[in-house]
Amino acid sequence: MYQFEYHKPASIEAAIELMNEAEDGKFIAGGQTMLPTMKHRLASPTDLVDLGKIEGLQSVRVDAETVTIGAMTTHAAVAASVDIRQAIPALAALAGNIGDPAVRNRGTLGGSIANNDPAADYPAALIALNAIVQTNSREIAAEDFFTGMFETALEENEIITQVRFACPTQASYQKFANPASRYAIAGVFAANFSSGLRIGVTGATAVAHRGARLEAALAGKQDPAAIAAALQGVALPVEKMNNDIHASAEYRADLVKTLTRKAVLACL
């Protein structure tokens, strides 16, 4: 690991000022991605700006229609929140199955989505739950936030402050996890709203995305046999699927449909 300057500001304004003054600064939340990257010398920032002491970034607020979670809220806190477990049980369950206890107690919601690993769990939930990402300067719809592999719509030195999730009538997250890392080889988050079904898919392609073809095929379907038949007829773009040592593109395409069936049936 290379030498760097460590900063722990008490406000968002101070954090941004430090970043503006740094030669090559990086924000750090839980450190579950940044620190291993630095240890392997894949990144060598001149400055690390720790967001951990900024007030207001670790919070959970629930009302009749939304769940709002501060960016520095850990996965463990999301999983343990009684309010979240009552409002969106599937979101709490998702958080409780990220990595291992060490990762869950250090990793944060904001850090996860800012890093945007293609196999991370939260992006599927943000997309399915029609979430809004609030930063220090604007609001970004989840479908516009995840732009590519490890890429987001965040501008330079922009800080995520909270994420606002819409409360569905039912929701379920189903993933096929890598047994070592617990990352999703493929994961599907299905959420029912009065306006219809929304599906978020992660792990299968270079970036999490909305399963529009799946939603269209399942519109109005309630019977398990009809759901299975409808999914069988969906042609997913195999050429866009990830193809690696963990699973082939063809396997992931089939896996997405299997996980979608399980998630939708769980909602029913």
**What is the per-residue pLDDT for 94?**
98
Q: In the CATH scheme, what is the homologous superfamily, with its name and number, of domain 170-267?
A: CO dehydrogenase flavoprotein, C-terminal domain (3.30.390.50)
Report the alpha-carbon distance of residue 30 to residue 50 in Å, rounded. 9
CATH code of the region 5-50: 3.30.43.10
The CATH 3.30.390.50 domain(s) of the chain lie at 170-267
> Are 219 and 197 spatial neighbours (Cβ–Cβ below 8 Å)?
yes
CATH 3.30.465.10 segments of the chain: 60-166
**Pick the residue with more confidence: 34 or 191?**
191
Q: What does the pLDDT average to over 18-32?
A: 92
pLDDT of residue 1: 61
Contact call for residues 223 and 205 (beta carbons, < 8 A): no
Could you say which of 3.30.465.10, 3.40.190.10, 3.40.50.300, 3.90.420.10 is the CATH number of the domain covering 60-166? 3.30.465.10
Angle at 87 between CA 82 and CA 91, to 5 degrees: 85
**Confidence grade of residue 42 (pLDDT, cut at 50, 70, 90):** confident
Dihedral (Cα; 231, 237, 239, 242), 10-degree rounding:
-60
pTM here? 0.96
pLDDT in the model for residue 40:
86
Inform me whether the pLDDT recorded for 226 exceeds 80. Answer: yes
Q: Is the pLDDT of residue 38 over 90?
A: no
The two beta strands, 47-50 and 25-28, are parallel
Q: What is the mean pLDDT of residues 74-90?
A: 98
Residue pair 57/67 in contact (Cβ under 8 Å)? The answer is no
Q: What is the spatial distance between Cα 120 and Cα 97, in angstroms, rounded to a whole number?
A: 11
